[in-house]
Structure 1
Amino acid sequence: MSNACSKDDCNRVLLLHGIWMTGIEMGWLKHRLTSAGYQVERFRYPSLSRTPVENAQLLNRFIRQRGYDCLHLVAHSLGGLVLLNLFDLFPDQPPGRVVLLGSPVHGSAVARRLARHSWGRRLIGRAGERGLVEGAPPWNGERQLGVIAGTSGRLGIGRLLGGIEGESDGTVMLKETAIPAAADRRLHDTGHMGMLFSTAVAADVAGFLRNGHFPR
């Protein structure tokens, strides 16, 4: 499979949810992308009982079974770490673009704080390995990737637990989302979950998938 989008009219999109989620919460974003002309599916994975590496293996199997000619990938939070593991382990994916929404690619200070306690380790399950605690593999830079991060840190689990420094979406710090090799980056005044229900974020996702950069 090629690693560069070969069709300007590629309209297949796969959404990946974050930790503790099922994909249902991405329904509004799916609706907005469908309205923009995309055919959208959701990939559901066990965020607690399997590591990001194991979920990347499941995702690779899912993609192979469907035989996509071209596929864009959009992931929220932990889903983005699953994607980085996917491209690290299985780089030969269908051509397409990638968008990460609030993904702590360098690991999460909040998750590391939780991991200090037995009750906290139960909350993050196995998502820490090459994921929320350890950080994901570096982006290989072989296709266009857009990063969206939130800066409205007024609410979120990070505010409850502490450990958040500087700008954040309330759960993930801005610096935790940074990928120097990304094609483009966009900041929104929204919280970690709020970005899934933001009209402006949805428009940016659709624009990046269409053009390889966020609308100016």
Structure 2
Amino acid sequence: MAPRVLLVHGLWMHAPALAYWARGLRRAGFRPVLFSYRSLLQAPETAMARLRAVALAVPDTHILAHSLGGLVSVKALAGTGFRGRIVCVGSPLAGSRAARVLASRHLGRLAGRSLPLLCEGLPAVPAGLDVSAIAGTMARGLGRLLLRFDEPGDGTVAVSETRIPGLSRHVTVAASHSGQLFSPATVEAAVALLAGAPQGCGKGL
């Protein structure tokens, strides 16, 4: 049976937003499954518990997640013995400056109950997990309305915010934060990372 890949969306999104990724993964021989959660009104811990159960229920499962979904996925599977690969696309694994600016301007409600997780990020990849990251370098996005990036980024998340110690691979693609959802280069890089390709899956930094 084809390897199963859970697709996990980000903030303000719903599962259908990942339909383009699903088609690309299916053509590459994977079995994509959309995972949905309420990113604004639901505590991330609730989504993590559901994702943990779904991910561990079927052997040979991997995860491809966008933005907040990457943080949710990595935290959900820490310490579980999960053996699959987790690929985070545009995920502020080191914490989001844009989210911290929202909080400082008393606009945290725009990130709902996910605000603390977005602000804090993760100190490192939890032991035992295989996590890779894809970062965008086309600076177009809502994040530019909140702050000016003095470094490469996707317009919402800086490349440096996608890096934490312990990543298996880190690659970049020429795509904006939202554009990653419809980017052939993002899908190509994700497929290579999910397949465990050691090289040739985007521009490493």
Same fold (TM over 0.5): yes
* Structure 2 spans left out of the alignment, 5+ residues: none
Runs of 4+ in 1 over 4 A off after TM superposition: none
Q: Is contact 2:135-2:159 (8 Å) kept?
A: yes
Call closer, same or farther: CA 1:84–1:211 in 2, change over 3 Å.
closer
Displacement of 1:68: 0.1
Task: Give the partner amino acid of 1:111.
Answer: A
Match of 1:4 in 2: none
Contact 2:125 2:166 in 1 (8 A): yes
CA distance change for structure 1 residues 213 and 100 in 2, over 3 Å: closer, same or farther? farther
Cα distance in 2, alignment partners of residues 208 and 60 from structure 1: 21
The answer to whether the 8 A contact 1:73-1:98 is kept is: yes
Q: Deviations over 1:118-161 (max 9, x none)?
A: 4x2211111022x11122353124243221001111x2111112
Question: Residue 18 in 1 paired to residue 3 in 2?
Answer: no
Q: What amino acid is aligned across from residue 190 of structure 1 in structure 2? A: A
TM-score normalized by structure 1? 0.86
Distance change >3 Å, CA 111–CA 171, structure 1 → 2: same
8 Å contact from structure 2 (residues 99, 115) kept in 1: yes
From 91, 96, 103, the counterpart of 1:108: 96
Separation in structure 2 between the aligned mates of residue 161 and residue 147 of structure 1, nearest angstrom: 24
What is the total number of aligned residue pairs between the two structures?
A: 201
Q: Percent identity of the aligned residues? A: 35
- For the Cα contact (< 8 Å) 2:90–2:134, is it kept in 1? yes
Structure 2 residue identity aligned to 1:112: R
Tell me if 1:85 matches 2:70: no
Q: Is the 8 A contact 2:6 2:55 kept in 1?
A: no
Q: CA RMSD in A?
A: 1.8
Picking from 99, 115, 125, the partner of 1:139 is: 125
Question: What residue number does 2:154 align with?
Answer: 169
TM superposition shift of 1:163: 4.4
Instruction: Give the match's secondary structure for 1:211.
Output: coil
TM-score when normalising by structure 2? 0.90
Aligned equivalent of 1:180, options 165, 168, 172: 165
Instruction: Return 5+ residue gaps in structure 1 as ranges.
Output: 1-8
- Alignment match, 1:98: 86
Tell me the equivalent position of 2:115. Answer: 128
